Amino acid sequence: MFGLTFEKLLLIGVIAVLLVGPDRLPRYAAQLAQLVRNLRGMADGAKSRMREEMGPEFDEVDWKKLDPRQYDPRRIIREALLDDAPATPAAPVPRKPVSSSGPLTYTPKAPPKAGADASPPPASQSSSVEPAAAQPAPFDAEAT
Protein backbone atom coordinates (compact mmCIF):
# COMPACT_ATOMS: atom_id res chain seq x y z
CA MET A 1 0.00 0.00 0.00
CA PHE A 2 1.82 3.12 -1.31
CA GLY A 3 5.19 1.49 -0.60
CA LEU A 4 4.73 1.88 3.15
CA THR A 5 6.24 -0.83 5.29
CA PHE A 6 5.34 -1.57 8.87
CA GLU A 7 8.43 0.30 10.12
CA LYS A 8 7.48 3.42 8.15
CA LEU A 9 3.91 3.33 9.46
CA LEU A 10 5.20 2.93 13.02
CA LEU A 11 7.53 5.91 12.58
CA ILE A 12 4.66 8.04 11.20
CA GLY A 13 2.52 7.01 14.20
CA VAL A 14 5.24 7.98 16.68
CA ILE A 15 5.72 11.36 14.98
CA ALA A 16 1.93 11.91 15.01
CA VAL A 17 1.78 11.13 18.75
CA LEU A 18 4.58 13.61 19.44
CA LEU A 19 3.08 16.37 17.27
CA VAL A 20 -0.56 15.96 18.26
CA GLY A 21 0.00 15.25 21.91
CA PRO A 22 -1.62 12.75 24.25
CA ASP A 23 -4.69 14.92 25.03
CA ARG A 24 -5.83 15.46 21.37
CA LEU A 25 -4.78 12.06 20.00
CA PRO A 26 -7.95 10.14 21.03
CA ARG A 27 -10.16 12.77 19.37
CA TYR A 28 -8.16 12.64 16.11
CA ALA A 29 -8.15 8.84 16.16
CA ALA A 30 -11.95 8.86 16.50
CA GLN A 31 -12.23 11.32 13.60
CA LEU A 32 -9.99 9.09 11.47
CA ALA A 33 -12.12 6.06 12.32
CA GLN A 34 -15.30 8.01 11.42
CA LEU A 35 -13.72 9.03 8.09
CA VAL A 36 -12.87 5.41 7.28
CA ARG A 37 -16.43 4.32 8.16
CA ASN A 38 -17.89 7.06 5.93
CA LEU A 39 -15.67 6.03 3.01
CA ARG A 40 -16.71 2.38 3.40
CA GLY A 41 -20.36 3.43 3.56
CA MET A 42 -20.00 5.45 0.34
CA ALA A 43 -18.31 2.52 -1.40
CA ASP A 44 -21.03 0.12 -0.26
CA GLY A 45 -23.74 2.60 -1.34
CA ALA A 46 -22.17 2.92 -4.79
CA LYS A 47 -21.93 -0.86 -5.05
CA SER A 48 -25.59 -1.37 -4.06
CA ARG A 49 -26.70 1.36 -6.49
CA MET A 50 -24.74 -0.32 -9.31
CA ARG A 51 -26.32 -3.65 -8.38
CA GLU A 52 -29.81 -2.05 -8.54
CA GLU A 53 -29.18 -0.34 -11.88
CA MET A 54 -27.42 -3.24 -13.59
CA GLY A 55 -29.67 -5.95 -12.22
CA PRO A 56 -28.51 -9.56 -12.37
CA GLU A 57 -25.70 -8.68 -14.80
CA PHE A 58 -23.78 -7.08 -11.92
CA ASP A 59 -22.79 -10.44 -10.46
CA GLU A 60 -21.73 -11.77 -13.88
CA VAL A 61 -19.14 -9.03 -14.49
CA ASP A 62 -15.54 -10.09 -13.94
CA TRP A 63 -14.31 -7.02 -12.05
CA LYS A 64 -10.69 -8.20 -12.05
CA LYS A 65 -10.59 -7.78 -15.83
CA LEU A 66 -11.46 -4.10 -15.38
CA ASP A 67 -8.57 -3.46 -12.98
CA PRO A 68 -6.43 -0.73 -14.60
CA ARG A 69 -3.27 -2.12 -12.98
CA GLN A 70 -3.34 -5.10 -15.33
CA TYR A 71 -2.92 -2.91 -18.43
CA ASP A 72 0.84 -2.86 -18.77
CA PRO A 73 1.60 -1.30 -22.17
CA ARG A 74 4.67 -3.50 -22.62
CA ARG A 75 2.63 -6.67 -22.10
CA ILE A 76 -0.12 -5.49 -24.46
CA ILE A 77 2.38 -4.71 -27.21
CA ARG A 78 4.23 -8.00 -26.68
CA GLU A 79 0.98 -9.96 -26.93
CA ALA A 80 -0.02 -8.07 -30.06
CA LEU A 81 3.32 -8.72 -31.74
CA LEU A 82 3.33 -12.40 -30.82
CA ASP A 83 -0.24 -12.95 -31.94
CA ASP A 84 -0.38 -16.13 -34.04
CA ALA A 85 -3.35 -15.09 -36.19
CA PRO A 86 -2.14 -12.41 -38.61
CA ALA A 87 -4.80 -10.23 -40.15
CA THR A 88 -5.69 -11.10 -43.72
CA PRO A 89 -4.85 -8.26 -46.10
CA ALA A 90 -7.65 -6.70 -48.08
CA ALA A 91 -7.84 -7.23 -51.81
CA PRO A 92 -5.91 -4.52 -53.64
CA VAL A 93 -7.87 -1.94 -55.55
CA PRO A 94 -7.22 -2.28 -59.30
CA ARG A 95 -5.53 0.77 -60.74
CA LYS A 96 -5.06 1.93 -64.28
CA PRO A 97 -1.38 1.72 -65.27
CA VAL A 98 0.30 5.08 -65.76
CA SER A 99 2.69 5.55 -68.64
CA SER A 100 5.90 7.32 -67.90
CA SER A 101 6.24 8.65 -71.45
CA GLY A 102 4.80 12.07 -70.68
CA PRO A 103 2.22 14.10 -68.80
CA LEU A 104 -1.29 12.77 -68.47
CA THR A 105 -3.93 14.53 -70.50
CA TYR A 106 -7.67 14.31 -70.26
CA THR A 107 -9.60 14.10 -73.47
CA PRO A 108 -13.35 14.48 -72.98
CA LYS A 109 -15.79 12.56 -75.12
CA ALA A 110 -16.54 14.36 -78.31
CA PRO A 111 -19.96 16.02 -78.31
CA PRO A 112 -22.36 14.69 -80.93
CA LYS A 113 -21.81 16.44 -84.20
CA ALA A 114 -24.80 18.41 -85.33
CA GLY A 115 -23.43 19.31 -88.66
CA ALA A 116 -20.46 21.06 -90.14
CA ASP A 117 -20.35 23.76 -87.45
CA ALA A 118 -19.15 21.39 -84.71
CA SER A 119 -16.21 22.97 -82.95
CA PRO A 120 -13.42 21.26 -81.03
CA PRO A 121 -13.61 21.42 -77.23
CA PRO A 122 -12.20 24.57 -75.60
CA ALA A 123 -8.57 24.51 -74.50
CA SER A 124 -9.63 24.83 -70.86
CA GLN A 125 -10.98 21.26 -70.95
CA SER A 126 -7.59 19.82 -71.89
CA SER A 127 -5.76 19.58 -68.60
CA SER A 128 -2.93 17.51 -67.29
CA VAL A 129 -5.02 16.19 -64.39
CA GLU A 130 -7.34 13.23 -64.75
CA PRO A 131 -10.84 13.76 -63.30
CA ALA A 132 -11.77 12.04 -60.05
CA ALA A 133 -14.49 9.96 -61.71
CA ALA A 134 -12.01 8.20 -64.01
CA GLN A 135 -10.14 6.46 -61.16
CA PRO A 136 -11.60 4.77 -58.10
CA ALA A 137 -11.13 6.58 -54.83
CA PRO A 138 -8.27 5.28 -52.67
CA PHE A 139 -9.45 2.78 -50.07
CA ASP A 140 -7.61 1.70 -46.94
CA ALA A 141 -9.17 -1.44 -45.49
CA GLU A 142 -7.22 -1.14 -42.24
CA ALA A 143 -8.46 2.38 -41.56
CA THR A 144 -12.13 1.49 -41.62
Per residue in 56-68, is it b (16+ CB within 10 Å) or e — as a string? eeeeeeeeeeeee
Residues in the chain: 144
The pLDDT assigned to 108 comes to: 65
At how many degrees (to 10) do helices 6-20 and 25-54 cross? 130
Residues 23-38 have a mean pLDDT of 92
Phi, psi torsion values for 41, nearest 5 degrees: -65, -40
Q: Mean pLDDT across the chain, nearest whole number? A: 76
In angstroms, how far is CA 54 from the centroid of its own chain?
A: 25
Q: Which amino acid is at 126?
A: S
